[in-house]
Chain A
C-alpha cells in the first residue's frame, strides 16, 4: 500500500491500492531533490506479479509492485530522471501520457527517436524537463502490458497555483481489470467479434419488442430495422468489444470502496484519469454538482456539469463541494453498462459502499452511427506517397441496405449547419454572441477566424434566454459563480499569466450575469442548440411555459435513431465542425435524412449518457482553454484521417491501412495542420497524438481546448488542429488498446526540412 502525498495543500493522497499478493516489499520511489537545479530521480521496477481482484489469483504486470503504479508527483519546471528497471522476461516501455517532451523520452518502441524498448533485464534512464502542469498518467506502450496492470497516475504541480482553490486533492484512476489473458482476448475477438457480447438482439427480445409495440406500423418498423442491420451485417449492440471486466478506482473494486475524505463545506479536487484499456465511463456523483476545471492537464474555464463521459486515456479534473456530511457515491458506469467503478466521498474512512444503482439502458447504435459522414476521400493524407486502401478495410457502402447517402451533405465534408436559420428565432441576437459561436462561423475555407469578434458576451441584450445551461457561465448554485470560489484575481497577478485576458473576460461576463434573474426569462432555451455545450437535443433543464419558437421545440433524437425532424438541430449536419457555411439554409439535406429513416451525420460532440432530461453533460464544446500558447491561424493543409477497420474480422486501421502496412504521416516542423477525423466505423475511437497538443475545432476560437486525446464518435467527422512544434517521431493511435494492437496506429513524423508533397 503506497500512499503518496499529492498536494502541498492540506491533504491528501490518492489512495493507491497495492493489491498484489500479501505484504510485498515496497520499492523506494523518489529521492527528494537537494536544491532545485538537481534533477530529481525516481526508480521504477517492472515486474510480473500475482494480482487477485476477482477472487482468482492472476498474473499481472506491475510497476513497483503496485497496480495502479505509484503516483509520480512532479513539479513544473523541474527536471526528472526516471530509472526504469525491466524485470520481466520480455521487452517493456513506459510512455508519459500527455507530457510535452523530446521524442526520445516519449517511450514508444520503434517510434520515439532512438528508442527500441527496454529489453528484459535492462534498466533504461529517462530524463526530461517538465514544461507543463496538471493531471496526466503513464503506462506501458509495449504489447498488452497496459491491460495487465502497467499504468499509473502522474501529477505535476504548477509553478503558479491553479486559478481555482480547493482544500483536498484526490486522484481517481479508473481502470478495467480482466482475469483473461489479453492475448487471448485479441484471439477471441479475431475469431468471433461478438465473442464477448451477451447483449445481442435475440428472437426473444424481438418478440418482446413486438409485443410492446403500440401498432402495426411500429411493429413493421421494428422488423425493418432488424432486417436493415442484418443486411448490413453489423450489430447495433456492439458497444464494447470486451466484457468480463471488473472496474476499479485506484485499484479497488466497488466493494472495496475507495473513500475520499472531506469535511463539510470543503472544496475537493478530483482528478479523474481513465486508465482503462477498453472502457469508456459515464461519471456522476448523485447529489453533487461537478465543476470541470481541467481537461487533459490543461486548465479550462470552470464549467458546472452533472455528468461527463471519459474515454480511455482522457483526464478531467473537477471540483466538488459536498456540504452536509453524508456519503456521496462517485459512480463511473461503463458505456456498455457492464458494470460500475465506484468510490465514495465521505467524512470518515471505512464506510461500506452505498448500493449501486440499477444500470442505465444500454445504448444501441443507430443508422446514423453506421451511415455517418464518410466525407471526402483523397485529401492530403500526410504520407510521402499517396495511400491505397486495402480491400477489406472499408465498410462496403455499396450494399448497405439501400441507404442513400447522397442527400446527406457530407460529400464535401463541409456539411455543417444545414437547416439552421437563426434569423427565424425571435429574441436572439447572435451577432452579439461570438463567444457562443454557433457552429464556428467563418471558419470555412477562405473565411476569417471567428476569434476576431469581441469575445465578451453581452447578455443584457438578449431577452428571454436561459443561461443556466451555458458553459463557463455557471449557475447560481455552481461553484463557478460562488463568491467563495477563489478565482485567479484573488490568488495571483492576472496580468502575468498567459491567457489572463481571457480569464478576466470570463470573470467580467460572470459578473454581469449576477444581476440577472434567469429564472424569469421567458421563452428561450438553448439547451438543445449546438454550440451551447449542452448535450445534443436535450430538453431544457427547467420547464418553461411560454411560447417557444417552433424551431426549438425539437424532438430528442431517439436512441434507436428515430427520425429527427428537419428542425432538430442536434442531429443536423454538425458533422464537419467549424467548416460549415453559416447562414445557409439547406433544408433539402434535412428532409433527405427524414426520407430514409432519419439518418444524419451525427453531431461529433453529442454525448448521450442516458441521463434524464435536463442533466448537464460535458461536451468538448463546453471546454474553453484558459490559456492557449498558439496563435489563432488557419491551418496550411487538411489531412484526412479516416478511421477504418473490419468489425467482422476485428482489425482496425487508419485510412484503410493497418499500422503494419502503413507509412508515417509526415508533418513539417512549424506548420499547422488540420486533421479531419472521419470515423467510418461503428465504434468510438479516442485518438491520441503524442508530443503535441490537439485542438478540436469546437467553435470556441482561441479558447478551443488543448487535448492529448480526442474521442471521435461513430460515423462522425471532427476537425482537429495541430501545431507541429515538436520535432521527431510520435505515436498516433486509438487508445482502445485492442484497436491499437490490431492496427489503428500510425507514426507521425515531424521533420525540420519542408518536404514537397508528392501528391496532388
Chain B
C-alpha cells in the first residue's frame, strides 16, 4: 500500500523535475520524507529526493563563437540504496532550436561507500535524427573529493560511446566556491549523421565561481572552453560552428 504511494510520489517528483527546479522542489518536499511517527522510528525505508541543476547558464562566445544557453541537471528519488535518477543536459544556440539535448532515466544502486552504479536509457531529441541509447555508468566521489560520472552508451544502432565528467569544488570561503570541471566524449566509431567522430570527439573544460547565498541558490560566473576533434570538428564547421571556442558564462546553480 505504501509502495504504491511511493511510486506515485516518485512519478510526481520525476515529472516535476523534468519541468523545472522550483516545482520539483515542492513536489519533492511534500513527498520525500514520510513521517515515520506512524510506524515507529525508522522501521521502514525512508524515501527522499533532490534536484540539482549544476548549470543553468548563458554563454557569451568570443571571436565569433555563437552565444549559447546551456543546462545540466539531475534529480533523484528513492532510498539510501535504490534510487531512480534522471539526468538531462543540452545546449541551445541563439535563434536556433535545441542543438543538443538529452535525457536519461536511470536506476541507481549504491555499491560502495562513495559509489552508485547506474543503468537505464538515454534519449536525445536533438540533434536530429533523434536517437535512443542504453546507458551503464558509475557515479560518485573519487579520492581527492572529485565528483565523477562515467557513462558508457550503446545506441539503438549498436554504436558505442562513452563520457567522463569530472568536477571539483574548491571552497575559497565558506560560500564562495570555485568549481573546475571537465567533460570528455569518446566514440568507438563514426556516426556521420550525428557528427560523431571515431575516438575523441570533444573536450569541454571550465571554471565556475559560485556564491552560495544558500546551499540551494548559487549564482555563478565562469569561463568555458570547448574543443572538437577530427571529423567532429569538421562537422561542426560544416554546420557553421567552430571547432574551438571560449565563452564567458553566467548562470545559477540550483540544488533542492
Tell me if B112 is interfacial: C-beta within 8 Å of chain A: yes
Which residues in chain B, 103-119, are within 8 Å of chain A measured between CB atoms?
110-114
**Which A-chain residue is minimally distant from B145 (CB atoms)?**
A230
Residue pair A117, B174 in contact (C-beta under 8 Å) = no
**Which B-chain residue is minimally distant from A739 (CB atoms)?**
B42
Chain A nearest CB, measured from B24 CB (Å): 13
CA A390 to CA B110, docked complex, whole Å: 10
Tell me if B224 is interfacial: C-beta within 8 Å of chain A: no
Residue pair A191, B40 in contact (C-beta under 8 Å) = no
Supposing A199-B174, A230-B143, A231-B144 touch, asked if A646 and B41 sit within 8 A by C-beta, the answer is no
CA A110 to CA B111, docked complex, whole Å: 30
Chain A nearest CB, measured from B46 CB (Å): 7
Tell me if B45 is interfacial: C-beta within 8 Å of chain A: yes
Residue pair B41, A198 in contact (C-beta under 8 Å) = no
The majority secondary structure among interface residues of chain B is loop
Tell me if B37 is interfacial: C-beta within 8 Å of chain A: yes
Residue pair B215, A195 in contact (C-beta under 8 Å) = yes
Tell me if A268 is interfacial: C-beta within 8 Å of chain B: no
Residue pair B48, A187 in contact (C-beta under 8 Å) = yes
Complex interface: chain A residues within 8 A of B99 (CB): none
Tell me if A392 is interfacial: C-beta within 8 Å of chain B: yes
Residue pair A108, B40 in contact (C-beta under 8 Å) = yes
Supposing A391-B111, A658-B80 touch, asked if A192 and B40 sit within 8 A by C-beta, the answer is no
Residue pair A188, B215 in contact (C-beta under 8 Å) = yes
Complex interface: chain B residues within 8 A of A90 (CB): 35, 37-38
**Which A-chain residue is minimally distant from B143 (CB atoms)?**
A231
CA A183 to CA B33, docked complex, whole Å: 6
Which residues in chain B, 9-55, are within 8 Å of chain A measured between CB atoms?
28-29, 32-33, 35-46, 48, 50, 52
CA A143 to CA B43, docked complex, whole Å: 10
CA A395 to CA B114, docked complex, whole Å: 9
Which residues in chain A, 116-136, are within 8 Å of chain B measured between CB atoms?
116-117
Please classify how large the interface on chain A is, using the bins under 10, 10 to 19, 20 to 34, 35 or more.
35 or more
Residue pair B43, A659 in contact (C-beta under 8 Å) = yes
Supposing A202-B174, A392-B110 touch, asked if A109 and B41 sit within 8 A by C-beta, the answer is yes
Which of B155-163, B165-173, B189-197, B198-206 lies at the interface with chain A?
B165-173
Residue pair B255, A396 in contact (C-beta under 8 Å) = no
CA A198 to CA B35, docked complex, whole Å: 28
Q: How many A-B residue pairs have CB under 8 A?
A: 141
CA A649 to CA B111, docked complex, whole Å: 12
Residue pair B46, A186 in contact (C-beta under 8 Å) = yes
Residue pair A145, B81 in contact (C-beta under 8 Å) = no
Interface string of B79-113 (1 = CB under 8 A from A): 01100000000000000000000000000001111
Which of A70-78, A714-722, A741-749 lies at the interface with chain B?
A741-749
CA A202 to CA B176, docked complex, whole Å: 9
Which one, B32, B44, B46, B114, contacts A396 given CB within 8 A?
A: B114
Residue pair B80, A201 in contact (C-beta under 8 Å) = no
Complex interface: chain B residues within 8 A of A390 (CB): 81
CA A230 to CA B52, docked complex, whole Å: 23
Complex interface: chain B residues within 8 A of A660 (CB): 42-45
Residue pair B113, A117 in contact (C-beta under 8 Å) = no
CA A199 to CA B171, docked complex, whole Å: 11
Residue pair A742, B35 in contact (C-beta under 8 Å) = no
Tell me if B141 is interfacial: C-beta within 8 Å of chain A: yes
Tell me if A184 is interfacial: C-beta within 8 Å of chain B: yes
CA A137 to CA B41, docked complex, whole Å: 19
CA A195 to CA B215, docked complex, whole Å: 7
Residue pair B37, A396 in contact (C-beta under 8 Å) = no
CA A649 to CA B76, docked complex, whole Å: 13
Complex interface: chain B residues within 8 A of A395 (CB): 113
CA A195 to CA B175, docked complex, whole Å: 11
Residue pair B33, A659 in contact (C-beta under 8 Å) = no
User: Which of B28, B41, B110 has most chain A Cβ within 10 Å?
Assistant: B41
Chain B nearest CB, measured from A389 CB (Å): 11
Tell me if A394 is interfacial: C-beta within 8 Å of chain B: yes
CA A745 to CA B145, docked complex, whole Å: 30
Binding site for A on B (CB under 8 A): 28-29, 32-33, 35-46, 48, 50, 52, 80-81, 110-114, 141, 143-145, 170-175, 178, 215, 255
User: Can you list 21 residue pairs at the A/B interface with Cβ under 8 Å?
Assistant: A90-B38, A110-B43, A117-B38, A143-B37, A143-B41, A183-B32, A184-B29, A186-B33, A190-B80, A202-B172, A203-B170, A203-B171, A204-B173, A232-B143, A393-B113, A396-B114, A651-B80, A659-B43, A740-B41, A741-B41, A742-B46
**What 6 A-B pairs come out closest when comparing CB atoms?**
A143-B37, A110-B40, A109-B40, A191-B50, A142-B37, A183-B33
Binding site for B on A (CB under 8 A): 90-92, 108-111, 116-117, 141-145, 183-184, 186-188, 190-192, 195, 198-204, 227, 230-233, 390-396, 399, 401, 646, 648-649, 651, 658-660, 731, 733, 740-743, 745
